[in-house]
Each structure stands twice: as structure tokens, then as C-alpha cells.
Structure 1
């Protein structure tokens, strides 16, 4: 049995879309909400012959990976997050690049020599890597209007991945993958009035309108911190709202906090777009924190740690 293990955001889903368009394969899909990254432990080593792992940190899945390799499972691992120590094993092939200007779908695009570049462009837009997305779009000759459509699609797919649990999402990421992989070109999907594009567009616009009233907890020279309520719509927009804030003020870091039922916070951090580094270094200082240089998060930040968190972000990015 083959297992496809992938992050439930735009980058993870679209990376798999590209691979399965190029290399169709019956597989068992393992995914979840965007913040559910300890996914590899769900692979049943005794049943697995091979696995493809996309857009989840090797560092956070190291123990499960070692177990699969010990059982002789062949693993392809493609990612752009913190990797930690990468095992040396003939059964493991890794394509890992933690540069702040790349993402898993762009790495897959290179692997496939640009065969489904439009999908990679949508994913890069969804991961808020606008410069990289536009560069690739220009290389393949897309018009500005086509780029705008792929940007919208990427954002909506990414938006769908955020939530406390799967019940918060409009589409289960595995279901969304199956709907997307029916289209070899995402522009065809956008043009199809019966596709998921229109559904996600309406939901996104409704939720983002509510986010405009977010409470500002801190707004200093180097960072801005906002708070969203303990509601499903707020959990859905936490990441894309952070991207919107980052795009509006590219010299500042931004943190979007969403209140949890236990009065802790789920935190989404965006490094300044003009200084895309350090978000992971900040978040790993706190339990349940992780991510990558340009964008990171904390799953459960206790209220008593809020002041320390704001201080850490503010001080890190002061000139």
C-alpha cells in the first residue's frame, strides 16, 4: 500500500495534485487541518510499501519517519520547513529547502520540470509567496488577469485549511484534493461554475469581512498583534488574515491570535515581508510552537505567556 501524507493547506494539497497528475497512483490519503503536522505516525508501517510526505516538518515527524525506514518503507519527503537531522537511509529520498522564498509546490514543480506550473503558481500565492509566484507566472507567460485568478484560488484553498479541527473546515483536505486533481490546469477549475472555487470564494469573503473588526492588542514600530474570537470563522481566517496584514505593512511582523476554549491562544505569526526570517525562531521558544522562517505559529499559548510573546516578537524585529 502507498500512503500520501500531506499538509491540509494550499501548498500541501497542491503539491500532491501536481505529483498525482504526473504520476497517478492509488494511495491512502493522510492529512488534516493545517496545524496538524504530526501526520506521519498515522502511516501503518506494517502495511506500507512506500509513502510520499509533503509540506510537513521532518523535525516534527522524525520518530515516525525512523520507524517507517526501519520497516523498509520507501519514502519521498518534500518540504520547506525546519528539518532537523535528516536520516541517512537508502530508502529515503529528500527534497528539502528551507529558503524563505520557496514552498513545497515550487519544489515539486522543479522535480516535474514545470509540467503543471500553473498549479505551483496557485500554491505559491496561497502560501503568500507573491514574488516567487509572479516570477514563475511571468516565465510561463501568464497574463495579469490569469495571475489574479490563480492568486485568488491559492488563497481560498489555503483559507480552507485553517481550523481547530476538521469540523471548522468547509472541505476536508482529502476531499478537496480529490476535487482539485480532476483539473490538469487550475484555470480550467476557476472557469468551471460548478467547481469549488465559487463556494470557497463566497465563504472567504464572508469570514474576512468579520475579521476587519479584530481587536488590536499591540501596535508598535516593529510588529502588530491582533486578537480574534473563539469562533469557527475566526479560526478559518487566522492565517489568511495574517497574510493580508503582512502585505499591507511589509516592514512589520504580524501576529494573529485566536482565543481557544481554555482561554489560551492559537497564534499565527508572519515575519515582515521585507525581512522574511525569524518567525520559527520566535515560535519555537514557546511549547507547541514551530513553523518556518517567514511564517510560523503556536498551537496553545497560555494567557500568562502573552506579554512575553509580544515582547519576543517586538524585540526580534526592532532595527
Structure 2
């Protein structure tokens, strides 16, 4: 029997696990993937699982394999901030789930641990584009502004690294990036000592964002805009953080970033207006493979013939 740490490959998933394992070390096998690879529990053989820690992936998208794990006797700690639906009642399940628009999994873990490793919670919150929440925690740590800015950059870069259609699109496998960071109690120590890894993320981010900045909106109104990125590794890597950048630049506007997929159709990232964080998940769940949370959501595979219905629904919600 084994222990498994199952986590989203973005900044929030990685930083949530960093906090937990620094507070409660455990020999566990890592299971993660690209950010959009969220049905992770399907990869587990219930007969081999003693304990599973599941972070930053929707319970609703993993309901059936979770129920199988629990029935097989596994102990499960499940922490997340996405739409969950009905949470199973089972003595082997400890669920810490809150879909509020101003929290993320790293912040939930921070509360669970009573701030024991809050520096990583700040990085995770910045990575999830929750700047106000990240700064609120940072104030409790009495961090100077240069350190806060460093944490924001690191969170953005780690989050950026999680996007891609396949692991080959990424600069680092998320499990590798977690292991690189695991030895550091504070993110600033990682940025100082692992300078080559930090710079690889930074240079990749800046280059890809420069490409995205040259893209004009495919469709726009006063309250919303849609951008379409080409079928290219840089575009897949930047799809989520480009949406965050657009949201930060015009916080009263909703944004959708559609990235062309090699097999046809689009990968979709939606950002609700920062001044009105609502309905991104409601919009995306109208389409197959869609999900997320109120402030930020996505669709893994939007068919070409569904692009106009998506624009219509997006426009109706954010008009």
C-alpha cells in the first residue's frame, strides 16, 4: 500500500502541497500533470492506495474514482476551491472545500495549518491571480515590498509553467518543479539559490507574453473581449497567464482566451472581471469539458462549431 499526493500542476496546487509536506512530511508518490489535466484520480489503482492527499482539482470531476477509493478503504484528504457539487459523506474523507471567489487551495491549506508556511500561500494566491488575498496574507508576515513583488513574479511564473496541451509544452514537469522547491521553507530562498530554474521560468514567461501582446481581439465590446491564439507551444503555455494579465489591465472587463488545438477546436480560458468575479464557471459548464470557479474557468475542448454559441453565451453573461 502507498501514499499518494495528487495535485494540480499550477502554482496553487504546487504551493498547497509545499505547505502540507513541510508541515507534515510524508513519503508519497506524486501524481500531477498539465493544469488542465484535472481528472487525476482515475490514474490510481484503489487496491494500492492507503492514503491520498488531493489538492486543487474539482471533486465534481473526480467523484466516481473518489467514491471507489473510499469504498476500498483509502483515507482521503481533499482540499479545493472549484465547484464540487455534493460532497460525499464518508468516515475516510476529510474535505476542506470552499469555492468563494477570493480563496484558493493554497489559502485554504494556509488556514488549515494556521499560517505555518504562509510564505508559500502568498505565492500560490498570486499565481491564482488573487492579488488582494495574497497581499493580505503578506501583511501578516511583515514582508517588504520587494519580497512581495518577488513572490508575485514567482507565483505568476509557476502558474504559467502549468499551462500546455501536453507535458512536452512545459519548461518543467510540475512534479519536478515541486521537488526543486520542496527543500525551501521560504520562496525567496528558492529564488536566490535556484537561480537557473527561476531565470528559465522568467525568460520563458517574458518571451511568450511578448508574442501574446501582439494579438488583437477577435471580438470585443465595452464589457468583454475574446482573443484567439494560434496552435503553437508558446500560445498553449501563455493562455492562462495572458488572461490574468488582461484581467489585471482592465478589471471591469471580462476576457476569454481561445487557443487553437492541433486536432481542431479550442482550449478556452475565461476570466471574469476582477471588479465582478462571477459566472465564469457557470458559462464554461454549459459546454462539454468545461469547469472551474466563479472568477476563472475554462473549457478543455471547444469544437469549432461551438465557437459562435460560446461567444453568444459569453456576451450574454458579461454584457
TM-score in same-fold range (> 0.5): yes
How far residue 139 of structure 1 moved from its aligned partner, in angstroms, is 1.7
Where does 1:183-202 land on structure 2 (aligned, <5 Å)? 183-192=184-193, 194-202=195-203
Q: What is the aligned partner in structure 1 of residue 100 from structure 2?
A: 99
Quote the Cα distance in structure 1 between the aligned partners of 2:218 and 2:264.
15
What whole-Å deviation, never above 9, does each CA across 1:285-309 have from its counterpart, x for those lacking one? 0111111110000111112111111
Q: What is the aligned partner in structure 1 of residue 256 from structure 2?
A: 255
Q: Does 1:265 align with 2:266?
A: yes
Quote the Cα distance in structure 1 between the aligned partners of 2:135 and 2:80.
21
Q: Does 1:113 align with 2:114?
A: yes
Quote the Cα distance in structure 2 between the aligned partners of 1:89 and 1:71.
12
Q: What is the aligned partner in structure 1 of residue 24 from structure 2?
A: 23
> Does the residue aligned with 1:250 lie in a helix, a strand or coil?
coil
> Does the residue aligned with 1:52 lie in a helix, a strand or coil?
strand
Segments of structure 1 that go 5 or more residues without pairing to the other structure are none
| TM-score between the two structures when normalised by the length of structure 2 | 0.98
Quote the Cα distance in structure 2 between the aligned partners of 1:257 and 1:214.
12
Runs (4+) of structure 1 exceeding 6 A deviation are: none
Q: What is the aligned partner in structure 2 of residue 13 from structure 1?
A: 14
What whole-Å deviation, never above 9, does each CA across 1:98-142 have from its counterpart, x for those lacking one? 000000000000111101111000110000000000111112111
> Does the residue aligned with 1:46 lie in a helix, a strand or coil?
helix
What whole-Å deviation, never above 9, does each CA across 1:33-70 have from its counterpart, x for those lacking one? 00000001112210111100000000000000000000
Q: What is the aligned partner in structure 1 of residue 247 from structure 2?
A: 246
Q: Is the CA contact 1:189–1:195 (under 8 Å) kept in the aligned structure 2?
A: no
Where does 1:155-170 land on structure 2 (aligned, <5 Å)? 155-170=156-171
Q: What is the aligned partner in structure 2 of residue 72 from structure 1?
A: 73
Q: What is the aligned partner in structure 1 of residue 54 from structure 2?
A: 53
Q: What is the aligned partner in structure 1 of residue 144 from structure 2?
A: 143
What whole-Å deviation, never above 9, does each CA across 1:209-238 have from its counterpart, x for those lacking one? 111112411110221100111000000000
Which deviates more, 188-197 or 67-76?
A: 188-197
How far residue 31 of structure 1 moved from its aligned partner, in angstroms, is 0.4
| Number of residue pairs the alignment of both structures matches | 318
Quote the Cα distance in structure 1 between the aligned partners of 2:194 and 2:104.
29
Quote the Cα distance in structure 1 between the aligned partners of 2:195 and 2:88.
45
Quote the Cα distance in structure 1 between the aligned partners of 2:309 and 2:218.
13
Quote the Cα distance in structure 1 between the aligned partners of 2:315 and 2:252.
12
How far residue 262 of structure 1 moved from its aligned partner, in angstroms, is 2.4
Quote the Cα distance in structure 1 between the aligned partners of 2:67 and 2:223.
40
Q: What is the aligned partner in structure 2 of residue 230 from structure 1?
A: 231
Q: What is the aligned partner in structure 2 of residue 307 from structure 1?
A: 308
